[in-house]
Structure 1
Amino acid sequence: MTEQEAQDWLRKTFDVPRETWEKLENFLALLAEEMQHQNLISKSTADHVWDRHIVDSAQLLLHAPKGEGEKIWMDLGTGAGFPGIVIAILGDYKVQMVESRGRRVNFLESVVQQLELTEKALVFGDRLENVESHPVNVISARAFAPLQKLLSLSHRFSTENTVWLLPKGKNAVRELKGLSPKRQKMFHVEQSLTDPEAGILVGLG
């Protein structure tokens, strides 16, 4: 997917209004500026940011539950803001971003303020183990921990209706096979739109 194809897909799939599109562009401008001070994304993906990061994050919304009322999306190890900031811009969720690294916490908090996302996004600047338990509708993690550890650390935030959206790249099937049979049944694998060899683990419960 080229950068133009990525932008075209976003516009078509989410019918993105101008104000929302400007937030995406402003986010990328803030990211580029911050990259001069800390390594937020791989330099090899910096020229493919719409494809490798924006669309790669936004596609998770296609597998997320719809419905009325306030819905909470918890993103683990948000780092540079993927997928958390993208979900907050494009989705209808209240996004809780868990990030323990101080400089990245400062960056995320600055982005939330500058993009006027304070009603839709909250940063937990701490380790997940120190976040108080509460139920959420969606749990995502792009590069947080191996699957078994991820589930063990975050299961206390899930209910029988919680949807798990876990991009696992080329290791998706291998990591899934490493779970107990009961936990394996929670998940199925969806192919990533941005990489034909990458998978997204989609789970319920």
Structure 2
Amino acid sequence: MANILEVQNLVKNYGDFQAVKGVSFNIQEGEIFSLLGPNGAGKTTTISMLSTLYEPTSGDATIAGHSVKKNPMGVRNAIGVVPQDLALYEDLTAKENLIFWGQMYNLSGKSLSSRVDEVLEQIGLTDKAKNKVKTFSGGMKRRVNIGVGLLHKPQLLFMDEPTVGIDPQSRRAILDTVKDLNKQGMTVLYTTHYMEEAEELSIRYGLIEHGE
């Protein structure tokens, strides 16, 4: 399998504090790669650099052939991001949220409508499409959040600790959703501080602690 992501000696400094200290790893097309580490280990900072939110202090990474430093727009077109914090409007329905974010990706008309319906099916919320997000459980909200990251059909999906702060039943649903997406061909970078999640989801996983 070809590598869709290659990370080479990625470093992020904040003044005198080094949050990420020369991280290197790769992800093959079609796999779920888990990045495992405790809170504060540097997982979210690494994701932020790979998604071009933060510029690396040094080092580089390529995603689908695009450098995060030299071609950030190419990277953004190739990835979907599911952040820890929910990017949803509580007073809108699940479908309305997806339509809103789809428009942010420049989708419109029939292509937007059909893609929203596809995503609702992918995340298992077709029957809840017209329900307001504020009525959802924490796990259901996170599934809508995953849907937002899927709208533009990314080649690689970043999922930053998507099971934090939810009940065991919702956690189970999220893990099953990740595996279902992978069976459909999605490549996933999944960060977690739960060893059992990494072992369940991934054949290969990386360990990060104190930024390295």
TM-score above 0.5: no
Q: State TM-score, norm by structure 2.
A: 0.32
Q: Which has the greater radius of gyration?
A: 2
Q: Which has the higher strand share?
A: 2
